[in-house]
């Protein structure tokens, strides 16, 4: 693992498109007012909707400096608890949210700087199953370094594992826009990686990948207390 931090991958299930918008408005407010503050100890906060937009489902990735930091967030009465009180009071969810803990094991969360917030960010989430994590990391770790050095419009390339599922690896990639995503996918280096991975993971990479569009103004930088949209 790269650090002592913990990540939560979230799936929220609003009852309708209108209630999804209500949830997004609340999440945006939290990102602006709380998760940029040092006391939040939140290193990354990103929420996203399906791409293309087919269902009301909302995905999320939250990363904290430690399990204790995550617990502080859960105990927060003003933002976290009040959000869930509003969800319950207004009946916003069709079913309970899904929260799974992961741990960063490679790649990069965000770049050092960029000039302005991005409004068209796409995110791919790939869930891989393998009998040999080492072989997968032997492929993806050097490739993540290549991406960081050669594809400036790939904003994040993060590898996660979790103790309770030792055969699973999750890859989260953030692209500046659809052009960046398409450029990444057709790069010969990426094609070579897919070919190598096909020999060590179960099933097709394409079949285990979901696409999302990041909610504008929802990304908090990987620096504790960093501003919205600062990579």
Q: What average pLDDT does range 96-104 have in this prediction? A: 94
Helix or strand or coil: residue 90?
Answer: helix
Helix or strand or coil: residue 13?
Answer: coil
**Tokens 């207390």 correspond to what residue?**
225
The correct CATH number of 6-214 out of 3.40.50.300, 3.30.70.140, 3.30.70.100, 1.10.540.10 is: 3.30.70.100
Per-residue confidence at 165, pLDDT binned at 50, 70, 90? very high
Per-residue confidence at 231, pLDDT binned at 50, 70, 90? very low
Q: Quote the pTM value.
A: 0.91
Closest C-alpha among 154, 203, 178 to residue 52: 178
User: How do residues 5-15 score in pLDDT, each as one tens digit?
Assistant: 899 999 999 99
Q: What average pLDDT does range 28-43 have in this prediction? A: 78
Q: What average pLDDT does range 138-161 have in this prediction? A: 95
Distance from C-alpha of 140 to C-alpha of 158, rounded to nearest angstrom: 10
| pLDDT attached to residue 185 | 96
Question: How many residues does this entry show for the chain?
Answer: 231
Residue 179 host element (H or E): helix 178-186
| pLDDT attached to residue 14 | 97
> Is-contact 192 139, C-beta < 8 A?
no
Calculate the alpha carbon distances from 230 to 8, 77, 111, 173, 220 in Å. Answer: 20, 27, 9, 16, 7
One-character DSSP codes across 181-201 = HHHHHH-HHHHHHHHHHTTTS
Structure tokens at 138: 């032997």
């Amino acid at each position: 693992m790269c650090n002592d931090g913990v990540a939560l991958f979230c799936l929220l299930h609003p009852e309708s498109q209108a209630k999804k918008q209500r949830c997004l408005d609340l999440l945006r407010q939290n990102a602006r007012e709380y998760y940029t503050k040092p006391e939040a100890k939140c290193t990354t906060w990103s929420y996203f909707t399906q791409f293309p937009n087919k269902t009301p489902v909302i995905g999320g990735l939250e990363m904290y400096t430690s399990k204790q930091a995550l617990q502080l967030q859960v105990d927060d009465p003003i933002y976290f608890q009040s959000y869930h009180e509003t969800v319950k009071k207004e009946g916003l969810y069709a079913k309970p949210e899904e929260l799974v803990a992961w741990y960063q094991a490679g790649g990069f969360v965000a770049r050092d700087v960029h000039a302005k917030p991005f409004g068209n960010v796409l995110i791919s989430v790939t869930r891989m199953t393998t009998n040999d994590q080492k072989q997968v990391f032997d492929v993806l770790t050097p490739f993540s370094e290549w991406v960081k050095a050669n594809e400036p419009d790939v904003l994040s390339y993060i590898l996660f594992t979790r103790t309770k599922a030792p055969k699973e690896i999750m890859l989260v990639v953030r692209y500046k826009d659809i052009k960046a995503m398409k450029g990444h996918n057709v790069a010969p280096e990426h094609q070579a990686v897919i070919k190598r991975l096909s020999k060590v993971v179960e099933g097709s990479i394409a079949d285990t990948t979901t696409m999302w569009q990041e909610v504008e103004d929802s990304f908090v930088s990987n620096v504790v207390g960093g501003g919205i949209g600062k990579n």
